[in-house]
Amino acid sequence: MQYRSTRGQAKNYSFEEAVMAGLSPDGGLFIPHTIPTLPANWKSEWANKSFQELALDILSLYIDESEIPTADLKVLIDKSYSTFRSEQVTPLFKIRDGFYILELFHGPTFAFKDVALQFVGNLFEYFLERRNKKETSGKVHRLTVVGATSGDTGSAAIYGLRNKKNVSVFILHPRGRVSPIQEAQMTTVLDPNVHNLAVEGTFDDCQDIVKTLFGNKEFNDRHHLGAVNSINWARILAQTTYYIYSYFALLKSLNIDPASPQADEINVHYSVPTGNFGDVLAGYFAHRMGLPSAKLIVATNSNDILNRFFQTSAYEKQTGPDGSVKATLSPAMDILVSSNFERLLWYLAREAEKDDGATMVGPETELDEKLADHAGQCVAGWMKALKESGSFTIDKEVVKKARLIFDSARVSDEDTLNTITAYHQPQNNQTPYILDPHTAVGVKAADEVIKRHHLAVYPNGKDIVLSLATAHPAKFSEAVAKALQASPGFDFEKDVLPTEFHGLLNKEKRIVTVERADPELVMAAIEKELKGEGIQF
Ligand SMILES: *Cc1c(COP(=O)(O)O)cnc(C)c1O
In angstroms, the CA 438 to CA 271 distance is 11
pLDDT of residue 293: 87
**Distance from Cα 331 to the centre of ligand 1, integer Å:** 9
In angstroms, the CA 482 to CA 51 distance is 35
pLDDT of residue 365: 67
pLDDT of residue 142: 96
Ligand 1 pocket member 442 (CB < 6 A): no
Are 449 and 443 in contact by the 8 Å Cβ rule? The answer is: no
pLDDT of residue 506: 95
Partners of 102 in beta bridges: 92, 468
The alpha carbon of 179 is separated from its chain's Cα centroid by a whole number of angstroms, namely 21
Ligand 1 pocket member 111 (CB < 6 A): yes
In angstroms, the CA 361 to CA 355 distance is 15
Residue 117: exposure state from Cβ atoms within 10 A (0-12, 13-18, ≥19): buried
**Distance from Cα 33 to the centre of ligand 1, integer Å:** 26
Q: Is the pLDDT of residue 307 over 80?
A: yes
**Ligand 1 atom closest to residue 471's alpha carbon, by position in its atom list:** 13
**Distance from Cα 271 to the centre of ligand 1, integer Å:** 13
* DSSP E strand stretches across 391-527: 391-393, 406-410, 463-469, 512-514
Are 267 and 449 in contact by the 8 Å Cβ rule? The answer is: no
Q: Which amino acid is at 445?
A: A
**Ligand 1 atom closest to residue 278's alpha carbon, by position in its atom list:** 7
* pLDDT single digits (tens) 232-285: 999 999 999 999 999 999 999 999 999 999 999 999 999 999 999 999 999 999
**Distance from Cα 115 to the centre of ligand 1, integer Å:** 12
From 102, 112, 285, 300, give the residue whose CB has the most ligand 1 atoms within 8 Å, as the site to mutate. 112
Ligand 1 pocket member 278 (CB < 6 A): yes
* pLDDT single digits (tens) 152-178: 789 999 999 999 999 999 999 999 988
pLDDT of residue 496: 95
| 200-204, 338-342, 459-463, 531-535: least confidently modelled range | 200-204
In angstroms, the CA 203 to CA 283 distance is 30
**Distance from Cα 112 to the centre of ligand 1, integer Å:** 7
Are 406 and 310 in contact by the 8 Å Cβ rule? The answer is: yes
**Distance from Cα 116 to the centre of ligand 1, integer Å:** 12
CB-based contacts of 418: which residues, under 8 Å, 6+ apart? 483
Helices (H) and strands (E) in the chain, counts: 21, 15
SS3 label, residue 111: strand
Mean pLDDT of 71-95: 98
* DSSP E strand stretches across 318-427: 391-393, 406-410
Ligand 1 pocket member 238 (CB < 6 A): no
**Ligand 1 atom closest to residue 274's alpha carbon, by position in its atom list:** 9
Q: Is the pLDDT of residue 355 over 70?
A: no
In angstroms, the CA 352 to CA 8 distance is 16
Ligand 1 pocket member 471 (CB < 6 A): yes
Are 1 and 33 in contact by the 8 Å Cβ rule? The answer is: yes
Mean pLDDT of 385-402: 93
Just list the catalytic residues: 113
First to last CA, the chain: 35
Q: Does domain 241-494 have CATH number 1.10.274.50?
A: no
Q: pLDDT category, 358, cuts 50, 70, 90? A: low
Partners of 101 in beta bridges: 93, 467
From 29, 102, 103, 113, give the residue whose CB has the most ligand 1 atoms within 8 Å, as the site to mutate. 113
**Distance from Cα 106 to the centre of ligand 1, integer Å:** 15
**Ligand 1 atom closest to residue 239's alpha carbon, by position in its atom list:** 7
Q: At what angle do helices 437-452 and 413-424 cross, to 10 degrees?
A: 90
| 4-8, 141-145, 263-267, 424-428: least confidently modelled range | 424-428
Mean pLDDT of the chain: 94
pLDDT of residue 366: 66
B/e letters for 142-159, b = 16+ CB within 10 Å, e = fewer, are: bbbbbbbbbbbbbbbbbb
SS3 label, residue 124: helix
SS3 label, residue 70: helix
pLDDT of residue 427: 85
Ligand 1 pocket member 274 (CB < 6 A): yes
Are 36 and 366 in contact by the 8 Å Cβ rule? The answer is: no
* pLDDT single digits (tens) 485-511: 999 889 999 999 999 999 999 999 999
Ligand 1 pocket member 170 (CB < 6 A): no
In the chain, the percentage of residues whose pLDDT exceeds 90 is 86
**Ligand 1 atom closest to residue 439's alpha carbon, by position in its atom list:** 11
pLDDT of residue 206: 94
Predicted model pTM: 0.96
pLDDT of residue 151: 80
pLDDT of residue 357: 58
Are 2 and 12 in contact by the 8 Å Cβ rule? The answer is: yes
Ligand 1 pocket member 126 (CB < 6 A): no
